[in-house]
Amino acid sequence: MNRHVIAFACQGSQLFGTLDMGTASGAVGVLIVSGGNEIRSGAWGGQSTLSARLAREGVPTFRFDRRGVGDSAGENQGFRASAPDIAAALAAFRAAAPHVKRVFAMGNCDAASALMLNAATLPGLDGVIGCNPWTVDAENETAPVHSAAALRRHYLRRLSDPRQWARLLAGKVALGKLAGGLRTAAGPQARSALAEDMRNGLAGYAGRVTILLAQGDRTAQLFASHWGQDSRVIGHASTSHSFADAQDWLVEQVLETLR
Cα Rg for the chain, rounded, in angstroms? 20
Are residues 180 and 55 both part of a single domain? Answer: no
Are residues 28 and 152 both part of a single domain? Answer: no
- Determine what percent of the chain is predicted with pLDDT higher than 70: 80
Are residues 162 and 110 both part of a single domain? Answer: no
Q: From 186, 208, 243, give the residue that closes a domain.
A: 186
Q: From 165, 186, 207, give the residue that closes a domain.
A: 186
pLDDT at 39: 96
User: How would residue 162 be classed by pLDDT, with cut points 50, 70 and 90?
Assistant: confident
Are residues 131 and 175 both part of a single domain? Answer: no
Are residues 82 and 121 both part of a single domain? Answer: yes
Concatenate the DSSP letters of all residues of 96-138 into one string: H-TT--EEEEEEETHHHHHHHHHGGGSTT--EEEEES---S-T
Are residues 55 and 120 both part of a single domain? Answer: yes
Are residues 91 and 39 both part of a single domain? Answer: yes
Is pLDDT of 100 > 60? yes
pTM of the model: 0.82
Q: How far apart are the first and last CA of the chain?
A: 21
pLDDT at 163: 72
Is pLDDT of 98 > 90? yes
Are residues 166 and 80 both part of a single domain? Answer: no
Alpha-helical segments (H) within the chain = 46-56, 83-96, 110-118, 148-159, 162-169, 175-186, 193-203, 218-227, 247-258
Are residues 8 and 46 both part of a single domain? Answer: yes
Are residues 62 and 178 both part of a single domain? Answer: no
Are residues 70 and 123 both part of a single domain? Answer: yes
Q: Which CATH number is 130's domain given? A: 3.40.50.1820
pLDDT at 186: 55
Q: From 157, 186, 215, give the residue that closes a domain.
A: 186
Are residues 23 and 115 both part of a single domain? Answer: yes
Q: How far is it, in rounded angstroms, from Cα 225 to Cα 202?
A: 18
Residue 45 structural domain: 2-140+192-258
